[in-house]
Amino acid sequence: MRATIPGPKMDIRRELGISLFGEKTQEEAELPKIKKACEKCQHPELVYTTRQTRSADEGQTTYYTCPNCGHRFTEG
């Protein structure tokens, strides 16, 4: 069994912006899509991400981005 303890290497990677999860940026990654119209341009499909921005006993916040016009808005 082999274990790695985060140390100075992890700090250097973070400072340089190197990700351990691959080379794709969030824009290049395949994000989940939903059939919901954009509030600004009415494009019929949006990409979304969710985050827990409040305490654990409250719901997640959903962030929508239109791939057509780039409009961003939240729900939740």
5 in a known ligand binding site = no
53 in a known ligand binding site = no
CA 56/CA 43 separation, integer angstroms: 33
CA 37/CA 24 separation, integer angstroms: 27
66 in a known ligand binding site = yes
69 in a known ligand binding site = yes
CA 51/CA 40 separation, integer angstroms: 23
Binding-site positions = 38, 41, 66, 69
Q: Which residue ranges make up the annotated binding site for Zn(2+)? A: 38, 41, 66, 69
